[in-house]
């Protein structure tokens, strides 16, 4: 039969380990919350990112947006976003959001780039190229968009994030060669509260773990 001391030692070590994980995670979130720039509405945002491609579209999925490189929580169900685009040319920019299947069908056999992973701070991105030889259709003439904006040289799209949706950036006329600056802003209301929760739980686990280790080290009275 396993003695109570062995059980106390095992539980104490496990709790101390979990406490360290929680404290490090909570501290990391607090640091992130304090260091990433926020706008007046409390949205975390990237610095201006230059988007330039010879293709006809740039697409991204909210599920591929992360807080930082290597972060393991998708933001798809947790945030709202703003995407601000400033064209570097005289061509007006179109931003649209729709179900991924409809976007893929719209862009089939056309050449476009997909942002397959995006870290907000520090900014990091990974791209996947899709090749085709057909010209893109004019995006503003399509009826499947859930939300879309097209206006002048500077535009902004605001929306809730959905894991099934895809965001599309194109020239208004669907022509190739996009050249624009973009700022992605995210509303992540759970960051600060989650950080505090992790730290509180970590402290509790430390206290309980120390008690377990004390029980293990306490001499047995005969």
In the chain, what are the domain boundaries?
41-189
CB-CB contact of 130 with 199 (8 Å): no
- Which pLDDT score is estimated for 89? 86
Instruction: Name the strand (E) or helix (H) holding 160.
Output: strand 154-160
**Would you write out the chain's pLDDT as a tens digit for each of its 222 residues?**
457 777 777 888 888 899 999 999 888 888 878 877 777 777 777 777 788 889 999 998 876 766 554 444 455 444 677 888 888 888 889 999 999 999 999 999 999 999 887 766 666 777 888 888 888 899 999 999 998 988 766 677 777 767 788 889 999 999 999 998 888 777 777 778 888 999 999 999 999 888 888 777 766 655
pTM of the predicted model as reported, rounded to 2 decimal places: 0.68
- Which pLDDT score is estimated for 79? 63
Residue position matching structure tokens 């360290």: 20
- Which pLDDT score is estimated for 193? 86
CA angle centred on 176, ends 51 and 183, rounded to 5°: 20
Rounded distance, CA 73 to CA 94, Å? 29
Q: Can you tell me whether residue 188 is helix, strand or coil?
A: coil
CB-CB contact of 15 with 208 (8 Å): yes
């Amino acid at each position: 039969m396993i003695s109570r001391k062995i059980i106390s030692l095992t539980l104490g070590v496990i709790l101390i380990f979990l406490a360290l994980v929680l404290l490090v995670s909570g501290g990391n979130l607090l640091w992130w919350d304090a260091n990433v720039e926020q706008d007046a509405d409390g949205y975390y945002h990237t610095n201006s990112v230059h988007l330039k491609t010879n293709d006809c579209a740039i697409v991204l999925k909210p599920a591929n947006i992360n807080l930082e490189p290597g972060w393991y929580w998708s933001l798809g169900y947790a945030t709202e976003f703003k995407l601000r685009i400033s064209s570097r040319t005289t061509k007006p920019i179109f931003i649209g959001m729709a179900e991924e299947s409809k976007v893929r069908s719209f862009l089939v056999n056309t050449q476009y780039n997909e942002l397959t992973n995006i870290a907000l701070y520090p900014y990091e991105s990974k791209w996947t190229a899709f090749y085709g030889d057909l010209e893109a259709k004019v995006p503003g003439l399509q009826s499947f968009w859930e939300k879309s904006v097209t206006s002048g040289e500077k535009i902004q799209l605001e929306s809730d994030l959905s894991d099934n949706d895809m965001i599309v950036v194109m020239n208004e006329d669907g022509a190739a060669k996009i050249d624009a600056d973009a700022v992605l802003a995210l509303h992540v209301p759970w960051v600060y509260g989650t950080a505090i929760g992790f730290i509180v739980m970590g402290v509790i686990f430390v206290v309980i773990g120390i008690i377990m280790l004390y029980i293990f080290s306490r001499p047995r009275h005969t």
